[in-house]
Amino acid sequence: MMDLHCHVDLYSDHNEVLNDLRECNYYVLSVTTVPSAWRGTVKLTEGIARCKTALGLHPQLAHLRKNELSIFDELIGETRYIGEIGLDGSKGYMPYIEDQLYVFNYILEKCTHFNDKILSIHSLNATKQVLDCLKEHPLAGTPILHWFLGTKKQVLEATQHGCFFSVGPAMLNSSRGQKVASWLPPDRVLLETDGPFAKVDNCPLLPSQAKLAINELSLLWKVKAEDVVAQLKQNMVLLLNGGII
């Protein structure tokens, strides 16, 4: 099983999340929010083979940390995984959208110089702009749209571009999240938690709890839970073997 969007370095109790990673043995994508956090996060999960650390610059921090793009350049060759990156059009961050666009497009352009990048992408209230940027950089890698809440038409556009979608228990706890998830092609869906920010019953989700999404997906897809698991594993293999593009 998997958790393809988790902020391992940002849990208040590192021992708890590291023990969970070891016990569940899931394939986990540990995303970072600034390039300067990457090496420390790699060291944090040292020895946990199935936990991969992604190199990111979160859109909510783009205006504050765009000076770290030089660090991003130094590190991009050391990991296949890029994230968390993207755009955020929420009220508090819209004033910085130009900085966000600069950072996101810069990162996508850098990724085009490689042929295997996997990108975990934030698109809250900025789905159109994210898809436009991806279309401008078709060779950047395989995009995973994390906690995607776009329209049905945007699901189709993203699918045509080769995107995957990572969904988790917190997303599927909302009616809007369930509705969007019902539009997603089952062969492009992956699991995430977005812990420790995403919570269930007021507790930060741990990587092993990504599996809580399986029952909801079985209801949406009208199949047995074991069929959901089989589909997710198949999707993971496709992602790691180069995706759709």
Residue 127's CATH number: 3.20.20.140
Please check whether residue 52 lies inside any domain of the structure: yes
Q: How far apart are CA 131 and CA 154, in angstroms?
A: 8
pLDDT of residue 244: 52
Residue 143, domain member (yes or no) = yes
Is 14 part of a structural domain of the chain?
A: yes
Three-state DSSP state, 160: helix
Read off the tokens for 35: 């390039």
Give a yes or no: residue 227 inside a domain: yes
Q: What pLDDT does 242 receive?
A: 75
What is the identity of the amino acid at 54? A
Using CB atoms within 10 Å of the CB of residue 237, give its burial: 0 to 12 exposed, 13 to 18 middle, 19+ buried. exposed
- Along the 245 residues of the chain, how does pLDDT read in single tens digits? 999 999 999 999 999 999 999 999 999 999 999 999 999 999 999 999 999 999 999 999 999 999 999 999 999 999 999 999 999 999 999 999 999 999 999 999 999 999 999 999 999 999 999 999 999 999 999 999 999 999 999 999 999 999 999 999 999 999 999 999 999 999 999 999 999 999 999 999 999 999 999 999 999 999 999 999 999 999 999 999 976 53
Whether 194 is in a domain gets the answer: yes
Number of structural domains in the chain: 1
Residue 195 lies in a domain: yes
Would 245 be classed as within a structural domain? no
Nearby residues of 87 by Cβ (< 8 Å), 6 or more positions away: 59, 97, 100, 101, 104, 122, 123, 126, 129, 130, 133
Domain range spanning residue 230? 2-240
Give the residue from 48, 64, 59, 21 showing the smallest Cα distance to 146.
59
Q: Where are the extended beta strands (E) located within 139-206? A: 142-146, 164-167, 189-191, 199-200, 203-204
Q: What does the alpha-carbon distance between residue 207 and residue 196 come to, in Å, rounded to a whole number?
A: 9
